[in-house]
């Protein structure tokens, strides 16, 4: 387990359960844990809930959710958010979970890349395919330039002042940063593989005006190679229909969408099988007691990567988590249809 | 049944049979063809089943739809022959189809 946790914030956030991932399984885990009086905080690297349902296929219909003959990824997310509302979970969106350390009192200290620290009695990994991270173009030697000359996001615009900037891509990120950075840049080139853009038409129009007035350059082609010394990028070879062209560039921003990577969870000392986390099928617990894994990220004999399987896993995981959060408590299994105490928790009684 | 040949960047090839109705991506996954990742499972949401269609078959496989064309923006080394294998339905017409797997999916 990594020892290099970021400095703790003034006050650690104490919670019964920390859920990593706000996709359908993470959201439903809030519900199942909530019925058992287990309070949860939810962290997700995306700026919104819903995970893949919201990020990859918000408009696509899903046909295998029990009792919902047809539902889109976004509707499913919205309905789950409505369903878990009585349990009032706290969301920490746009943050990535980094280090995890078990404390002497048995709780887990979990840090985020935003500098927050959680103290949780149980940790539920519901991270799906992993955390969404920007795609790295498979260009030779690109790693050496990352962080100094190659950036997948803009943290401080000032850092791009007077640079020779190359932005690659044809979506809103590429267009928005083209428009925002052009006034600061010494020179700016937007490179896209075709003269057709996915981004908002208004942004495309503004970009074309800048090109027409000679304030920036638009190239149709693809990146062929990077050239520089050490971590400093100096030029980029651009492959176009008319041949290769080498352009001067000391800041490159590639926008090729997101991919999913297991990320820092891989360093937590859990047993892994090909980037999946093996669990038992009674508790859905990982090789570390108190850390559970549900949904697409886990594996066990017969595993099916279905949302409905993740819902089932959330229910059983919650029973096991209850024994950790409330040790020694007598557990009475109850139905939401008839239990007045469950109905009270749901706010319907 | 349609036969589909997948040619790897090193020149090795594998010919598989696929039932009409499947996609070329599904045929690749069913036969464990290296280099066809299909991270999103066929939702046209990731571009990791990028393939190059053999020149002779381009007319029969057709052109990418707008959504596929947009998603190809996320692929690497896109050519005029580029398609996403998850968007090509296997038909009897495609018996003999030849596609090339790119050196890198990303």
pLDDT in tens, chain A (349 residues): 444 555 555 689 999 999 999 999 999 999 999 999 999 999 999 999 999 999 888 888 999 999 999 999 999 999 999 999 999 999 999 999 999 999 999 999 999 999 999 999 999 999 999 988 899 999 999 999 999 999 998 989 999 999 999 999 999 999 999 999 999 999 999 999 999 999 999 999 999 999 999 999 999 999 999 999 999 999 999 999 999 999 999 999 999 988 888 889 999 999 999 889 999 999 999 999 999 999 999 999 999 999 999 999 999 999 999 999 999 998 888 999 999 999 999 999 7
Q: Say whether residue A193 is in contact with chain B using an 8 A CB cutoff.
A: yes
Same domain for A242 and A270, yes or no, is no
Same domain for A203 and A284, yes or no, is no
Same domain for A49 and A159, yes or no, is no
pLDDT at position A1 is 44
Domain C-terminal end among A217, A240, A256 = A256
Number of A/B CB contacts below 8 angstroms equals 46
d(CA A279, CA A317): 10
Q: Which residues, 6+ apart, have CB-to-CB distance to A185 below 8 Å?
A: A160, A161, A162, A163, A164, A165, A216
Same domain for A302 and A155, yes or no, is no
Same domain for A22 and A126, yes or no, is yes
Same domain for A263 and A118, yes or no, is yes
Say if the Cβ atoms of B46 and A196 lie within 8 Å.
no
Find chain A residues with C-beta within 8 A of B40's C-beta.
52, 56-57
CATH numbers and ranges of domains, chain B = 2-100 (3.10.20.30)
Span B65-93, mean pLDDT?
95
Closest chain B C-alpha to A137 CA, distance in angstroms? 7
Same domain for A272 and A244, yes or no, is no
d(CA A119, CA A206): 48
d(CA A88, CA A21): 16
Domain C-terminal end among A204, A227, A256 = A256
Pick from B40, B69, B74: CB nearest A256: B74
Helices A73-84 and A24-35, axial angle in degrees (round to 10): 20
Q: Per the domain annotation, does A211 fall within a domain?
A: yes
Pick from A60, A171, A222: CB nearest B43: A60
CATH value at residue A160: 3.50.50.60
Q: Say whether residue A196 is in contact with chain B using an 8 A CB cutoff.
A: yes
- Per the CB < 8 A criterion, the answer to whether A252 and A150 are in contact is yes
The whole domain housing A145 covers 136-256
pLDDT digits (tens, 9 = 90+) for B28-63: 999 999 999 998 888 888 899 999 999 999 999 999
Say if the Cβ atoms of B46 and A170 lie within 8 Å.
no
Say if the Cβ atoms of A169 and B104 lie within 8 Å.
no
Say if the Cβ atoms of B73 and A170 lie within 8 Å.
yes
**What's the number of domains chain A is made of?**
2
Domain C-terminal end among A212, A229, A256 = A256
Same domain for A141 and A92, yes or no, is no
Task: Write phi, then psi, for A215 (nearest 5 degrees).
Answer: -85, -15
Find chain A residues with C-beta within 8 A of B104's C-beta.
138
Q: Mind spelling out the 3-state secondary structure of B70-102?
A: HHHCCCCCCCCCEEEHHHCECCHHHCCEEEECC
Say if the Cβ atoms of B47 and A257 lie within 8 Å.
yes
Find chain B residues with C-beta within 8 A of A257's C-beta.
46-47, 73-74
Q: Per the domain annotation, does A1 fall within a domain?
A: no
Same domain for A142 and A249, yes or no, is yes
Same domain for A51 and A185, yes or no, is no
Cα separations in angstroms, A98 against A6, A137, B87, B95, B98: 9, 24, 37, 49, 44
Q: Per the domain annotation, does A158 fall within a domain?
A: yes
d(CA B100, CA B8): 6
pLDDT at position A5 is 52
For residue A321, give the nearest of A123, A128, A126, A125 by alpha carbon.
A123
Tokens in use for A27? 């959201």
Cα separations in angstroms, A219 against A133, A162, A190, A216: 26, 20, 6, 10
Residue of B nearest to A258 (CA): B46
Closest chain B C-alpha to A69 CA, distance in angstroms? 19
Number of residues in chain A: 349
Q: Say whether residue A256 is in contact with chain B using an 8 A CB cutoff.
A: yes
Say if the Cβ atoms of B73 and A198 lie within 8 Å.
yes
Same domain for A124 and A266, yes or no, is yes
Say if the Cβ atoms of B73 and A171 lie within 8 Å.
yes
pLDDT at position A10 is 64
pLDDT at position A3 is 46
Q: Per the domain annotation, does A325 fall within a domain?
A: yes
pLDDT at position A75 is 96
Cα–Cα–Cα angle for A128, A132, A138, rounded to 5 degrees: 120
Q: Per the domain annotation, does A8 fall within a domain?
A: no
Q: Per the domain annotation, does A2 fall within a domain?
A: no
Q: Which residues, 6+ apart, have CB-to-CB distance to A312 below 8 Å?
A: none
Number of residues in chain B: 106
Find chain B residues with C-beta within 8 A of A170's C-beta.
73
Selected residue of A174, A198, A221 to mutate for chain B interface (largest B Cβ count, 10 A):
A198
pLDDT at position A2 is 45
Selected residue of B37, B47, B64, B74 to mutate for chain A interface (largest A Cβ count, 10 A):
B74
d(CA A273, CA A300): 10
Q: Per the domain annotation, does A335 fall within a domain?
A: yes
Same domain for A288 and A143, yes or no, is no
């Amino acid at each position: 387990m990594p020892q290099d946790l970021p400095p703790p914030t003034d006050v650690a956030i104490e919670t019964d359960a920390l859920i990593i991932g706000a996709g359908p399984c993470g959201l439903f885990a809030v519900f199942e844990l909530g019925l058992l009086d287990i309070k949860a905080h939810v962290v997700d690297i995306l700026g919104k809930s819903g995970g893949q349902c919201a990020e990859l296929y918000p408009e696509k219909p899903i046909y295998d959710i029990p009792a919902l003959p047809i539902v889109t990824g976004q509707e499913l997310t919205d309905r789950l958010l409505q369903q878990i509302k009585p349990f009032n979970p706290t969301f920490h969106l746009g943050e990535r979970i980094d280090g995890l350390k078990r404390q002497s009192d048995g709780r887990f200290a979990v840090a985020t890349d935003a500098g927050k620290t959680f103290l949780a009695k149980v940790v539920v990994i519901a991270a799906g395919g992993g955390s969404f991270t920007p795609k790295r173009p498979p260009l030779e030697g690109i790693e050496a330039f990352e962080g100094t000359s190659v950036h997948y996001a803009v943290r401080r615009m000032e850092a791009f002042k007077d640079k020779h900037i190359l932005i690659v891509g044809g979506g809103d990120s590429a267009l928005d940063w083209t428009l925002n950075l052009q006034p600061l840049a010494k020179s700016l080139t937007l490179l896209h593989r075709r003269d057709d853009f996915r981004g908002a038409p208004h942004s495309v129009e503004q970009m074309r005006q800048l090109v027409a007035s000679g304030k920036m350059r638009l190239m149709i082609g693809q990146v062929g190679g990077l050239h520089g010394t050490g971590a400093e990028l100096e030029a980029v070879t651009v492959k176009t229909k008319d041949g290769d062209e080498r352009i001067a560039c000391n800041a490159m921003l590639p926008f090729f969408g997101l991919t999913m990577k297991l990320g820092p969870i891989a360093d937590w000392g859990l047993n892994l099988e090909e980037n999946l986390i093996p669990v038992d099928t009674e508790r859905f617990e990982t090789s570390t007691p108190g850390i559970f894994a549900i949904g697409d990220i886990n594996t066990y004999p017969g595993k099916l990567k279905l949302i409905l399987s993740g819902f089932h896993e959330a229910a059983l995981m919650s029973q096991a988590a209850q024994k950790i959060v409330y040790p020694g408590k007598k557990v009475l299994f109850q139905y939401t249809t008839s239990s007045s105490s469950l109905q009270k928790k749901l706010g319907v009684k | 049944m349609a036969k589909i040949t997948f040619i790897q960047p090193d020149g090795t090839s594998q010919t598989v049979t696929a039932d009409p109705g499947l996609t070329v991506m599904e045929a690749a996954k069913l036969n464990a063809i290296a280099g066809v990742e299909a991270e999103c499972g066929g939702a046209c949401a990731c571009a990791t089943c990028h393939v190059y269609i053999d020149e002779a078959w381009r007319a029969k496989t057709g052109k990418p739809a707008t959504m596929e064309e947009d998603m190809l923006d996320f692929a690497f080394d896109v050519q005029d022959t580029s398609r996403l294998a998850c968007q090509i339905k296997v038909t009897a017409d495609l018996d003999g189809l030849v596609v090339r797997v790119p050196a890198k999916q990303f």
